[in-house]
Homo-oligomer: A and B are copies of this chain.
Amino acid sequence: MNIGAIEAGGTKFVCAIVSAQPDGSAPAILERKSVATGQPESTMAEVLAFFQASQSAYGAIERLGIGSFGPIDPIPGSPGWGRVLATPKPGWTDADLAGYFKRALCVPVAFDTDVNAAALGERLWGAAQDVDDFIYLTVGTGIGGGAFANGRLVHGAGHPEMGHIRLARLPGDSFGGTCPFHDSCFEGLASGPAIERRWGMKGADIPEDHEAWALEAAYLAQGIASLCLAFSPRLFILGGGVGARPDMLARVRQALPAAFGGYRPGLASEQDAARLLVAPGLGSLSGLLGSAALALEVR
């Protein structure tokens, strides 16, 4: 069975045709394309053209999974299902992302946040196989997280917004943050754009021994510790462009025991932190394969 997958991000839409494997292993990516995120109409039309063109090579897709930037309405049966909610991203508020592709491609469409998709991908084929309770967090252009509890994705009234939990500013850090809503939320203090604005250069250009990275690791550790105290996950997967930097995982593991402050018995050492905090098993493909996974779960 061929499935369409869209990882719909604020910067780009990555779309792919994947082939579901009969043995349940990770789908093979048959073809993939990136589309820059512009206005909704042109962006969706370009993505649609990709799927239509691919039909001649691979046949029609049977389902489509979309893992989208948020906030969105992912609750099946809700009147707003499939749409982007109020977002600062120009033009996208109320965009009918899932409905557009459902009408155009005439296939069942699964729709969730990019991070819920990534969490599902990690659960099926990545680092969280057989783990019923875990969190997947992406740290990149934004910060967002998806949680599994008792083997199921946590949605509640919509979806978590883990990037907007409040952090305590670290001593000496007077940077105003990048979030238009909050003066010291996780995303505003520790996302990629926050790093760039705080230090006046792109993260990719900041040397590995720059103080920026110790500060970043301390904020990530603080946010991760709060999320662990809230959910008590068995595993915490750190993804995203900032999370995937060469030394980032090691730095955050080192900072975690101090962030827990000795409170969690099993989290007193860096070794404990290394068992809890891991890289995505699917590398940078968690979101894309996870979007396909959403479609596999459509009933």
Contact = CB atoms under 8 A, between A and B. Distances in A.
A229 B261 CA distance: 23
Given A165-B229, A166-B226, A167-B166, A234 B184 contact: no
A256 to B, nearest CB: 13
Interface string A237-281: 000000000000000000000001111111000000000000000
Contacts of A28: none
6 contacts: A133-B154, A161-B264, A165-B165, A166-B225, A168-B168, A230-B230
A18 interface: no
A234 B158 CA distance: 9
B263 A161 contact: yes
A127 to B, nearest CB: 16
Given A166-B168, A181-B262, A265-B85, A232 B157 contact: yes
Contact of A86 (B156, B227, B265): B265
Integer count of this chain's copies in the complex: 2
A189 to B, nearest CB: 10
A260 B262 CA distance: 29
B158 A232 contact: yes
A222 interface: yes
Contact of A157 (B145, B150, B165, B233): B233
Contacts of A32: none
A266 B78 CA distance: 14
Given A71-B265, A156-B232, A160-B230, 16 more contacts: A85-B265, A133-B155, A145-B230, A155-B232, A157-B234, A157-B266, A158-B232, A160-B231, A161-B229, A162-B230, A164-B261, A166-B166, A166-B168, A168-B168, A226-B230, A230-B231
A197 interface: no
A157 B234 CA distance: 5
Contact of A152 (B85, B149, B161): B149
A198 interface: no
Interface string A177-197: 000011011000000000000
A245 to B, nearest CB: 23
Contacts of A159: 232
A263 B164 contact: yes
A169 interface: yes
A223 to B, nearest CB: 9
Contacts of A262: 181
A156 B233 CA distance: 5
A205 B124 CA distance: 55
